[in-house]
Amino acid sequence: MDPIIRPKEAYFEQTARNMEKFLRVPEWTIQQKIALTCRILAAEGHESALAGQITSRGEKPGTYWMLSFGLGFDEAMASNIVLVDDDLNILEGDGMVNPSNRFHLWIYRHRPHVNAIVHTHPPHVSALSLIGEPLVSAHMDTSMFYDDCAFLAHWPGAPVGDEEGRLIHEALGDKRAILLAHHGQLVATGTMEEACVLGVFIERAARMQILARSAGTIKPINPEFAREAHDYRLKPKAVGGTFHYFARRILKHDDEALR
Ligand SMILES: [Zn+2]
């Protein structure tokens, strides 16, 4: 048998150094990143008419960026992202605020390190939410959700009030993601790039879970390796590189999102 040439950590370190050197993300503004995230998620099948919201903390405390209400994700442009205060009054930009953004404010208020939230109702996540089944992380590609996806079993109705905000933020706890029964999913992260990437992969994880379960029994993965893969997949450069890849797929067709 061939000997192991180097310990695995050496390869992780080498890859981390190379990602720092080679994976560059353009200096897009936060409005451009939100618009790109909206279009990336639309292209990934998250479009659900006017449902779902993508938001980010503003530079000034108590301010938040979000897509003007009435537009679909695939219509998002940097110029139709509005800035609101912590009671959903518009501070910058024209349009109407989506009243469902109120529960995002609850998460921002209680999780100071959260700067971006992606909330959508994509089909496979929604299917799991209908049967009340939590997300299972048992594949390398979806290891970002290992021990990092909560489940809210109770549906509090349309989330336009404060009570729904309290329930959702309490169920989320300190995790990055949550499946909401009879509703959809939400990810709350430090950057818009990470929220976008997790938003894409939570739907892929749900699709994988439904496919796997229809064919057999899902086997759990080794917890130690799962945690290692979780941290590796969430390295900022890996997330940035993945976001840039998804953004390039959108910008190949037109650059409307950036305008
Ligand atoms: Zn929703």
Tens of pLDDT, residue by residue over 216-231, are 999 999 999 999 999 9
pLDDT at residue 58, as a whole number: 96
Count Cβ neighbours within 10 Å for each residue of 12-21 and write b for 16 or more, e otherwise: eeeeeeeeee
Q: Could you give the percent of the chain with pLDDT greater than 90?
A: 76
Q: In angstroms, what is the span from residue 64 Cα to ligand 1's centroid?
A: 18
Contacts of 205 (CB under 8 A, 6+ apart): 135, 136, 137, 139, 141, 142, 145
Q: In angstroms, what is the span from residue 143 Cα to ligand 1's centroid?
A: 24
Q: Which amino acid is at 40?
A: I
pLDDT digits (tens, 9 = 90+) for 71-91: 999 999 999 999 999 999 999
pTM: 0.92
Q: In angstroms, what is the span from residue 185 Cα to ligand 1's centroid?
A: 8
Q: In angstroms, what is the span from residue 121 Cα to ligand 1's centroid?
A: 6
Show the tokens assigned to 245: 């890849």
Q: In angstroms, what is the span from residue 110 Cα to ligand 1's centroid?
A: 19
